[in-house]
A and B are shown apart, each in its own frame.
Chain A
Amino acid sequence: MLNSIKLKLVIWFVIVFSFFFAGIELFLYYKLEDLTVKLADEHVNSEIQTLANLMAIEEVQGKLESELQELGAAVTGVYAEKLSGHYYQIVSDDGHILVRSPSLALAEESLPVLNPSHEPDYRTIAGPNGEHVRMLSQTFDFSIGRLTFQAADSLDETYELMGSFRKIVLLAFPAVFIICGIGVFLITSWALKSLKSFTAKVGQITEENLSQRLEERGVAAELKPLAASFNTMLSRLEESFSRQKQFLSDASHELRTPTTIIKSFCDVTLSRERGAADYKESIKKIGDTVNRMCDIINRILVISRMDNKTIQFKPVKIDLMDLMKDVKKLIEPSAVNKGISIDLEGKGVVVKGDREGLTEVFTNIVENAIKYNRPNGTVSIDINEYMGSAIVKVEDTGMGIPEEEIEKIFDRFYRVDASRGLTVGSGLGLSIVRTIVEAHGGKVEVKSQVGKGSAFIVSMPKSL
């Protein structure tokens, strides 16, 4: 659940959006505060300038004293109203308050007296009504001495405004949070819908219907590569499945014939009492057939191991001439039985490879050359090198292989002899040959003329 794209998207989006929202709100809040303070500053400043200018004019006319009286009483507007939030006072050099705006005087209040300063001194302080005020003090020089002008404006209205702004924001925040979350949820749901139907389609594919493919047209652009690679994977799976199935069916088919022979020997032999010689004969036949089965099973095992790449070749330097001499020695008796001679020519060429594997390769090829030879024919083996490759050519004087069958003879369980009245091995030999040679980085080629004979040519890299 925590690993859901949808959930992650919602969480991320809500977090990012919240920060963004909060940032904007904070920025606006402080900007507003700043702005109101600035406005208040301007207001108190202009008030002080007005007062100071007025006093300067009165001073020139010599009416400074009377003006001071007037400023304390004959004022109208916001300064006349008791505790209106707009105040001023003028303080003498000795700290004595000379004049108070009626808004202060009526309440018997005053602004806190500060030290004289010719520079404007802005402060936010607690006002006479317990309110927050912005106060400016500035000292000017007059003929009667230094006078300090103080003016203050209440900030409470602004603070109230900001308070409600804060409230609105705090209330809006969870709502925005939820709306944003739901919105993202819906959008991602919609976006992931095609993925869902895609998943459903994929889910329908089982071992039984591997031939099905995902529709690539009409799929969202982002899913197309996925569908395509899925289809490629399906193709590979299907191929390997059918190969495995075919192999299994071929293998069991191969084992059926010897099984039938063994079973029939058992059934018939046990059907009545017999002499020891009969039993002996039966057991011998069964033994021969079991050997044949073992051979088939071993080859099936070799192939399946090679398929799973669990066979590890141990490469050593091997002189192919020496190896071929051993192979020849091993096979010659069966060749002699058919009156076939084996000629070994060429020179020693060293390759790097697995001794057992290569022995298997050449034993198979030479055995085939004898098996498919005509009586009293020859098998010519030639070992040579050509452009850095070792070339082993095994030629027979047999019946040859029709062109259309040449590729098929390397297929597992294929038997070229099925149509020729010959009974032979498992049909796995050449498949093993090709697999082993290719594992050595080499290749096997066949040249054949029907009626004249075939040549198997194995080429593999020479050892340096």
Chain B
Amino acid sequence: MRILIVEDEKDLAAIIKQGLEEEGYVVDVAHDGEEGLYMAETYPIDVMVLDVMLPLMDGLTVLSNLRKKGVQTPVILLTARDALIDKIKGLDTGADDYLTKPFVFEELLARIRSLIRRKGTVKEAVIRIADLEIDTASHQVRRAGKSIALSAKEYSLLEFLAYRKGSVVSRTDIVEHIYNEDADMDSNVVDVYINYLRNKIDKEFSGKLIHTVRGAGYILKEE
């Protein structure tokens, strides 16, 4: 899952980025409104965390420009103001959620997860495919009741596929959502990680869940 942070306080942006990356997200950072708007339009962002007070272009303008251009990326507004009128204005401009500074980091994570779920077909924090369970809050993965240890990248890939369970996901899609703009990645790397995942999830259990669709990509589904 790829997340864009638009925040002019560099320290704050950096620590949010670190926290999100540790949660397995791919994170891009913009430090002003114009850069933020550009990145939100250009990259396949899953959730955007947008500060309201920004240099060059304020957050609400960025948001309304995005919506005007038809970009429907879920947006969480971050602001130091908690006046009701600001919240209403933010939500009416097209924000999906609202978080007042200072916030508890766990809450930001929960709200991001909630927005990711809202976009897809999955509505619960725990995604189930056959006997596979993926807890998106604690990042615990179990199959047939047995706990499976995954690396951060492996988890990201599995979660990305799980949120789109039953649909074919292309390699490019995968790369764009599990790597940020700084990474220079070949789509072959996806095949490598898919292989790792298959070894951990499918190999020792009965019933394949990860399937290759020739020429199109991958799909996570029950056989």
B80 A257 Cβ-Cβ under 8 A: yes
Q: Which of A261, A420, A421 contacts B12 (CB 8 A)?
A: A261
Given A256-B101, A260-B12, A264-B12, are A271 and B19 neighbors across the interface (CB < 8 Å)? yes
- Report the minimum CB–CB distance from A260 to chain B (whole Å): 4
A257 B101 Cβ-Cβ under 8 A: yes
B81 A261 Cβ-Cβ under 8 A: no
A263 B32 Cβ-Cβ under 8 A: no
A260 B32 Cβ-Cβ under 8 A: no
CA distance A289 to B12 in the complex (A): 10
A264 B105 Cβ-Cβ under 8 A: yes
B192 at the interface (CB under 8 A from A): no
Residues on the B chain within 8 Å of A268, using CB: 15-16, 18-19, 22, 105
A423 B104 Cβ-Cβ under 8 A: no
Q: Which of A420, A421, A423 contacts B9 (CB 8 A)?
A: A423
Mostly, the A contact residues are helix
Residues on the B chain within 8 Å of A289, using CB: 11
Q: Which of A253, A263, A285, A421 contacts B56 (CB 8 A)?
A: A421
Residues on the A chain within 8 Å of B16, using CB: 264, 268
A271-285 residues at the B interface, CB under 8 angstroms: 271-272, 285
Given A253-B81, A268-B15, are A260 and B22 neighbors across the interface (CB < 8 Å)? no
Nearest-neighbor residue (CB-CB) of A274 within chain B: B22
Nearest-neighbor residue (CB-CB) of A288 within chain B: B11
Nearest-neighbor residue (CB-CB) of A420 within chain B: B55
Nearest-neighbor residue (CB-CB) of B31 within chain A: A421
CA distance A289 to B14 in the complex (A): 14
Residues on the B chain within 8 Å of A263, using CB: 102-105
Residues on the A chain within 8 Å of B105, using CB: 263-264, 267-268, 271
A177 at the interface (CB under 8 A from B): no
A419 B56 Cβ-Cβ under 8 A: yes
A110 at the interface (CB under 8 A from B): no
B184 at the interface (CB under 8 A from A): no
A256 B19 Cβ-Cβ under 8 A: no
Nearest-neighbor residue (CB-CB) of A285 within chain B: B11
Nearest-neighbor residue (CB-CB) of B11 within chain A: A261
Nearest-neighbor residue (CB-CB) of B19 within chain A: A268
Residues on the A chain within 8 Å of B81, using CB: 253
A265 at the interface (CB under 8 A from B): yes
Q: Which of B10, B12, B53, B106 contacts A418 (CB 8 A)?
A: B53
A260 B8 Cβ-Cβ under 8 A: no
Residues on the A chain within 8 Å of B32, using CB: 421
Given A263-B103, A268-B18, are A257 and B55 neighbors across the interface (CB < 8 Å)? no
Given A418-B55, A421-B55, A421-B56, are A264 and B10 neighbors across the interface (CB < 8 Å)? no
A422 at the interface (CB under 8 A from B): yes
Give the size category of A's interface with B.
20 to 34
Residues on the B chain within 8 Å of A256, using CB: 80, 101-102
Given A264-B12, A418-B53, are A259 and B101 neighbors across the interface (CB < 8 Å)? yes
B22 A271 Cβ-Cβ under 8 A: yes
A285 B22 Cβ-Cβ under 8 A: no
B1-59 residues at the A interface, CB under 8 angstroms: 8-12, 15-16, 18-19, 22, 31-32, 53, 55-56
- Map CB proximity to B onto A44-57 as digits: 1 under 8 Å, 0 otherwise: 00000000000000
- Report the minimum CB–CB distance from B222 to chain A (whole Å): 33
- Report the minimum CB–CB distance from A300 to chain B (whole Å): 16
Residues on the B chain within 8 Å of A418, using CB: 53, 55
Nearest-neighbor residue (CB-CB) of A289 within chain B: B11
- Map CB proximity to B onto A409-444 as digits: 1 under 8 Å, 0 otherwise: 000000001111111000000000000000000000
A260 B55 Cβ-Cβ under 8 A: no
CA distance A263 to B104 in the complex (A): 7
CA distance A259 to B100 in the complex (A): 12
Nearest-neighbor residue (CB-CB) of A252 within chain B: B80
- Report the minimum CB–CB distance from B75 to chain A (whole Å): 18
CA distance A418 to B9 in the complex (A): 12
- Map CB proximity to B onto A279-312 as digits: 1 under 8 Å, 0 otherwise: 0000001001100000000000000000000000
Nearest-neighbor residue (CB-CB) of B82 within chain A: A256
Q: Which of B15, B53, B56, B106 contacts A261 (CB 8 A)?
A: B15
- Report the minimum CB–CB distance from A258 to chain B (whole Å): 9
CA distance A289 to B105 in the complex (A): 17
A253 B80 Cβ-Cβ under 8 A: yes
- Report the minimum CB–CB distance from A207 to chain B (whole Å): 19
Residues on the B chain within 8 Å of A253, using CB: 80-81
- Report the minimum CB–CB distance from B86 to chain A (whole Å): 12
CA distance A419 to B32 in the complex (A): 10
CA distance A263 to B107 in the complex (A): 12
Residues on the B chain within 8 Å of A420, using CB: 55-56
- Report the minimum CB–CB distance from B144 to chain A (whole Å): 28
Q: Which of B31, B56, B103, B106 contacts A260 (CB 8 A)?
A: B103
Given A257-B12, A261-B9, A261-B15, are A267 and B101 neighbors across the interface (CB < 8 Å)? no
Residues on the A chain within 8 Å of B103, using CB: 260, 263
- Report the minimum CB–CB distance from A418 to chain B (whole Å): 7
CA distance A241 to B65 in the complex (A): 38
Nearest-neighbor residue (CB-CB) of B18 within chain A: A268
Knowing that A257-B9, A422-B55, A423-B10 touch, tell me 6 more A-B residue pairs with CB under 8 angstroms: A256-B102, A267-B19, A268-B16, A285-B11, A418-B55, A423-B9
Residues of B bordering A, CB below 8 Å: 8-12, 15-16, 18-19, 22, 31-32, 53, 55-56, 80-81, 101-106
- Interface pairs (26), CB distance under 8 Å: A253-B80, A253-B81, A257-B12, A257-B80, A259-B101, A259-B102, A260-B80, A261-B9, A261-B15, A263-B104, A264-B12, A267-B19, A267-B104, A268-B15, A268-B19, A268-B105, A271-B19, A289-B11, A418-B53, A419-B55, A420-B56, A421-B31, A421-B55, A421-B56, A423-B8, A423-B55
A-B complex: 5 closest residue pairs judged by Cβ atoms: A267-B105, A268-B19, A421-B55, A260-B102, A256-B80
